[in-house]
Structure 1
């Protein structure tokens, strides 16, 4: 058992190493090939165990950022729960691995596993999707066809197909038909990815817009970020006024729209006249509407994570309230139960979620909004993009220090750019802020914990991608096909068990 156990862990580590900020995306299908090699022909129980080991190798390092300031009490349990859920999919993959063309059914079940993990538990945690590790790879154009599920399917089919091909050679299968069939499992997803490249549009269909993404920075990283809220607001006002001075001096072009990060004003400007005055003056000085990430307090006394559309001299004229809240951060499920293990749960907020997407009209741009954590959720982004010409992602990563979290999130933004055919503006309090073309390439990005303002002319696009038009249909079709294959494999296994032995 030692060798397959080590191969499982190694496969998970390779899948992790494929993730940003590294650019070795091709390690992901190799890691999946090792997993496929181990799972082939196993019983479901063994598949679950080896899948759990793969999950630990993958998720423990990937999610290390969750424990940077609270320690292993958050990081390790989260990694273990995610690994257990991944192991369920691996148990199912072991069952279908006895069927003909097993790499196909196995890849479909991997997608089904990601679908499940995106909704369960506590609203789901889709952060460790395989697609989010592919912003540099050949598989990226598939996002424009079938979104993140199609990328995951292609990566896993390549990996499992490679495992089947090599295992066939090792087992002495030399028939040309068998080798060609197994080689096709590797070649077809790769060929499909290349064929999808022309579907990735980048032209400016509705003109262009000069965008400024302002990163004001925070006094210091850590969980006491909210205690610094006045300093954070002052930093973003100051950096915006510096941008206005740079425009006046001719050092940078005048922006048409300005995007501030999530939590750039944790002081409610609708209740605090000083905050209102500061933001309003910054908007007047820069001469452009600003999307301001602000925490507002409702009539019920509970906070809302919002983005305000602030027009110069007019103040806030529209607002968007974050819909997909982060459990154990913005909300705390089962607070009294988890308090038995750590008092850190009392740091979690009691935010109220919004109930609808909002598109801001900012000059000639129609700006879709997805705040931070929301960008990980396929359906949330898909709903927000309707009627837009550009996507803004205000985010706050200051509570995760200098970890890989911000680079993982930027990878999601790049995948979303291709998936929906939109340029993406990422504005972060402390970095990394970035401007992304509709083909997923990064025009410019900031350093961590450095005040900056990125100014660039970006294309405005109205076309919907095939992925937009199909919506969740490809994912549900793949899920259903995988589950049908699992049911067939279980029925076939029972029939064989019931057959009299010769």
Structure 2
């Protein structure tokens, strides 16, 4: 395929490149196109360089504008990036499920590559990327939005825009930054500058004095083994969390917090397990909020045990992990991975349950639920403190835990809530409403996090807008695209 450079250095389609065009420029451009997905990978943990994401999309969008093979390049860009970002998904279940998940994520880029065959208008392509970001958050199997652009941007100076427009608005702002790198338009720079300042002004207006705080100790007790076999020794996991609780809990806390799967033997049916938990509560005189697996269903739950040993409230996980807590397309899944046969289908909960602790409302979010916009928003609007119970033992030693923690930090910022994120094996963290980590435990570390969390009552503008926030973002992006197309301002 050949090109000719015009007076602005632009290479229009379907023209031959004369000998006086710099071959060096061609090589640099080709290298950039090859490296683009690797730039996107670098934006996610464990590297976490936020600014490489707009660079990646600037290269991707520039290719779609000037080149022919847009579908093929979209497949290369998406598959390479997802394969590397989600490498942890194949750590214990094998190559085929990992590749299958990466291919599924690649499908969301196909419509963008197809659209680029008919229009090289960059604002329109950006709008289409945002549409597909929302589609993959919902379909199929309830969606898998782990690699949304915004989830790589917690350290970006534009991150606070999530308090106004939610996750999709931050993805939009990141793509606008990519557009700025391509066009160098001052008007786009002014918009981005405004987006970086506006949330701070709004947060000052909305900020209010905290009514109270809650003292807690969160336990990262570890597991006897890692990988898929971690829960084969459920009593061992329980005993490790009990041991760390006895070492760490002082007795003046309002709450002890345990992670997901800390109680993998149903305490409603097993008298020994229930007695062990009651003994901890009796000796510390502190209620316990811990993750448990209940036999009926089965279900993945967060249970509050009161100071007297009675059960105060039970939250049942509503957004189950496909291929982890239930197996869609079971016959195909079992062909791809023998581990699918070992998965019992869990039953989802139907309603939100809020825990009452020392007069404060505390909500539980269990692991995979952290990527679901609606569930996290409902929890934030109904409580003053959010607890994320998670279990990273299945993916210990990979970047899965760090990526989830980055998402959790963004959720704290988005919803103006402090979050205690506690894992069986780590990483775990205490996160402020600004998305900042003030205390943490590393992957593989056994220990505890003690602190005093603020109970915040003001909701963010994003929460006030609710499900309308992404709709508004999509409408704005589409209006911008239509305006650009009318002006034929494609450069």
- The TM-score with structure 2 as length reference comes to 0.88
Mapped pair 1:11 → 2:36? yes
Q: Distance in 2 between matches of 1:155 and 1:306?
A: 36
CA contact (8 A) 1:424 1:435 kept: yes
Aligned-pair CA distance for 1:156 = 0.7
8 Å contact 1:7–1:38 — kept in the other structure? no
Unaligned runs of 5+ in 2: 2-25
Shift of 1:490: 11
Is the CA contact 1:37–1:164 (under 8 Å) kept in the aligned structure 2? no
Q: Deviations over 1:378-419 (max 9, x none)?
A: 111112222210111000010002101001000111101111
Give the structure 2 partner of residue 236 of structure 1. Answer: 241
Q: How many Å separate the matches in 2 of 1:440 and 1:203? A: 18
1:392 and 2:387 aligned: yes
Cα 1:294/1:343, change in 2 over 3 Å: same
* Separation in 2, partners of 1:146, 1:478: 7
Provide Cα deviations, 1:78-103, integer angstroms capped at 9, x if missing partner: 112101212323433564433xxx33
Distance 2:242 2:483 in 1: 61
2:73 to 45, 50, 54: 50
Q: Give 1:108 shift.
A: 2.4
Q: 1:67 to 1:481 in 2, by over 3 A?
A: same
Kindly report which structure 2 residues correspond to 1:241-320, keeping only aligned pairs within 5 A, or say none.
241-244=246-249, 247=250, 254-298=252-296, 302-320=297-315
- Long gaps (5+) in structure 1: 166-181, 249-253, 494-502
* 1:366 paired residue number: 361
1:449 match = 444
1:226 to 228, 231, 244: 231
- Aligned position for 1:403: 398
Deviation sequence 1:177-196 (CA, Å, 0-9, x none): xxxxx232244224312331
Following the alignment from structure 2 to structure 1, what is the Cα–Cα distance between the partners of residues 339 and 79? Answer: 24
- The CA distance in 1 between the partners of 2:172 and 2:138, in whole Å, is 19
Contact kept, 8 Å, 1:292 with 1:307, in 2: the verdict is yes
Q: Secondary structure at the match of 1:339?
A: helix
Q: What does residue 65 of structure 2 align with?
A: 40
- Aligned 8 A contact 1:330 1:350 in 2: yes
Alignment of 1:298-447 (within 5 A): 298=296, 302-447=297-442
Q: Give the aligned length.
A: 461
> 307-316 or 227-236: which moved more?
307-316
Please give the per-residue CA displacement for 1:189-237, whole angstroms capped at 9, x wherever unaligned.
2431233124447765221111211111011211111202110011111
Partners in 2 of 1:57 and 1:187 — Cα distance?
A: 33
Maintained 8 Å contact 1:214/1:239:
yes
Mean CA deviation greater in 381-390 or 434-443 = 381-390
1:139: which partner in 2?
158
Match of 2:217 among 212, 229, 243: 212
Alignment of 1:129 with 2:148, yes or no, is: yes
Instruction: Look up the match of 2:50.
Output: 25
CA distance in 2, matches of 1:130, 1:344: 30
After the TM superposition, which residues 486-497 of structure 1 pair with which residues of structure 2 at under 5 Å, given as runs? none
Cα distance in 2 for residues equivalent to 1:204 and 1:294: 35
Q: Which 10-residue stretch deviates more, 470-479 or 200-209?
A: 200-209
1:106 to 110, 113, 125: 125
C-alpha spacing 1:127/1:271, structure 2 compared with 1 (3 Å): same
Shift of 1:283: 1.9
State the alpha-carbon separation in 2 of the partners of residues 23 and 75 from structure 1.
22
Aligned to 1:61, which of 84, 92, 102? 84
- Tell me whether 333-342 or 406-415 shows the greater mean CA deviation: 333-342
Change (3 A) 1:330 1:285: same
Answer yes or no: is the 8 Å Cα contact 1:154–1:190 preserved in 2.
no
- Superposed CA RMSD in Å reads 2.4
